[in-house]
Amino acid sequence: MTSPACWCGNRNLAPFHESYSRCAACETIVFLGERPANLAQVSNEQEDFYGRSYWYERQVGVHGLPDLDEKARRDLTERCPTWLRILMGYCLPPARVLEIGAAHGGLVAMARWAGFDATGLEVSPYISDWACAHFGVPMMIGPLEEQILPPESFDAIILLDVLEHLPDPKTTLARCRELLAPEGILVIQTPEYPAGRSFEDLTRSSSDFLKMLIPVEHLFLFSRSSVQLFLARLGFTYSVFEPGLSPAYNMTFVSSAAPLVRHRPDEIRAALLSTPSGRLVDAFLSFEAAGPR
């Protein structure tokens, strides 16, 4: 088997863990093992890795997480509001938005309710159909690189818990660059490797990052420095890290080829109040932020 290489091209990787190596050149953790043939395609929902069985069998049986139906219900209150606030901090409706790895489509739906022209993408036809049926959102099927889309099709592209799963992150993010408008943004959540720390050191300190060492699924685990270098090489020279979900092991950030401009709360609220469904989102986000009384 050919020795694995880091996204940066370095093959002289240092030992880190039985399933992972560490790239000292850029501080990325790289999966060592063989990868299933169909990580980016689903033609058999039961056998291909990210088909229906991933959401109803692997997520539940291997990871102890809720299946897709329950995840959709929980995400609407526990995760989607945080992500929507981060998106609106730098991009206002009615901008064009694509979520890669949209899963159940709940965030796409919430973005559409807020006034965005939002679309999701999934590699599984079953999951795409699920999102369409349950949330009524437009979905594309298959790898981003195979979608026939004109340049500058979107103002924002969202990848939440996706970057670490990509078998060829450089190619996928380069395609994102082509599809974004000149001032378009990426919104990314991905695990954060604490740069320079050994597996033994992380074990001694009971680091939550160790939960992210998930062989076969998590192929590249970036540090803050490596993800900034990775994106800068693709033309995303501006990045802002935001408070996100599970900061003990995740990082959440916005990146762009153009200087990032943060919108004021009054600007965000004015955009939401411009549509009837946006008013509902504004009320929900305000209530969610304050908590029940």
Backbone angles phi, psi at 120, to 5 degrees: -110, 165
Q: Tokens in use for 254?
A: 């916005």
Average pLDDT over residues 186-207: 97
0.85 cut: is pTM over it? yes
What pLDDT score does 286 carry? 81
Given a cut of 50, whether residue 81 has pLDDT beyond it is: yes
Question: Taking all residues of the chain, what is their mean pLDDT, rounded to a whole number?
Answer: 94
pLDDT, tens digit, 9 for 90 and up, residues 128-177: 999 999 999 999 999 999 999 999 999 999 999 999 999 999 999 999 99
pLDDT digits (tens, 9 = 90+) for 118-129: 999 999 999 999
Instruction: Count Cβ atoms within 10 A of the Cβ of residue 56 and give its class: 0-12 exposed, 13-18 middle, 19 or more buried.
Output: middle
Domains of the chain listed by start with CATH number? 75-290 (3.40.50.150)
Query: Looking at the predicted structure, is the pLDDT value of residue 292 above 60?
Result: no
The share of the chain scoring above pLDDT 70, in percent, equals 97
pLDDT of residue 2: 59
CA distances in angstroms from 107 to 67, 71, 266, listed in the order given: 17, 12, 22
Lowest mean pLDDT segment, chosen from 1-5, 105-109, 159-163: 1-5
The predicted model gives 26-31 an average pLDDT of 98
